[in-house]
Amino acid sequence: MRIAVFASHNGSNFQAITEACKSGEIKGEVALLISNNKKSQAIARAKNLHIQFLHISENVEPNEQLRDTKISSLLNEHNCELVVLAGYMKKLSSSIIDSFGGKIINIHPSLLPKYGGKGMYGSKVHKEVLKNKEYVSGVTVHLVNSDYDKGKILSQQTIPITENETPESLAEKARRVEHHLIIKTIKEIIEKKNRLARYEKKTK
Ligand code: GAR
């Protein structure tokens, strides 16, 4: 399976996915990294990992329609069958969601539907969780639709909150859990696709 990853900043999930593909744990290949941030660590990681990348943002292409066309054409050119939003802090436009419907997944650092929606991302999530004195937090991988963080949940894992937890320590724990969960979820998607292909072959 050919995978495109979108990331805005650090890119540790992008790296975890890429390494799992390179080691053969995921039977797939990261074909492309797309980032809206030229200075992101994600782009630096793509260079080190020899993954093709594209920096595209309002600054590079102010016209939204042209921007979407460029992203869609690139995903098509690279035959990407799965798009993973891994710390991508921009909402995907409905035209991209429509054309890749059902093939876009997002990693979110909370137990959705809690602490999701517009404005809930990155450290903001962890701050809010701690402000509300929650005992557990977690991470979610879900399908992307046009409603922020509302697509079908594919997998979740809880994270216990310890005494003296800070937004930073919680973010670090979340990242570690996410690396494991996103790899597991991608493997499940690939297995499901292969099962379906086998079934279709048999019933032909
Ligand atoms: C991850 O914790 C991810 O869940 C979060 O950004 C972080 C990116 O880490 N995404 C969101 O908040 C999206 N709503 P990374 O850049 O090290 O992979």
Every domain of the chain and the residues it spans: 2-190
Alpha carbons 124 and 116: distance in angstroms, whole number: 10
**CATH number of the domain located at residue range(s) 2-190 in this protein:** 3.40.50.170
How would you write the pLDDT of the chain (204 residues) with one tens digit per residue?
A: 999 999 999 999 999 999 999 999 999 999 999 999 999 999 999 999 999 999 999 999 999 999 999 999 999 999 999 999 999 999 899 999 999 989 999 999 999 999 999 999 999 999 999 999 999 999 999 999 999 999 999 999 999 999 999 999 999 999 999 999 999 999 999 999 999 999 999 998
Please work out whether the CB of residue 121 comes within 6 Å of at least one atom of ligand 1: yes
CA distance 34 to 40: 11
18, 85, 107, 121: residue to mutate for ligand 1 pocket, most atoms within 8 A of CB: 107
Task: Report which of 114, 191, 105, 106 is spatially closest to residue 158, judged by C-alpha positions.
Answer: 114
CB-ligand 1 contact for 109 (6 Å cutoff): yes
Active-site residue, 142 included: no
Nearest C-alpha neighbor of 20 from the set 11, 8, 30, 6: 30
Secondary structure string (H, E, C) spanning 118-135: CCCCHHHHHHHHHHCCCC
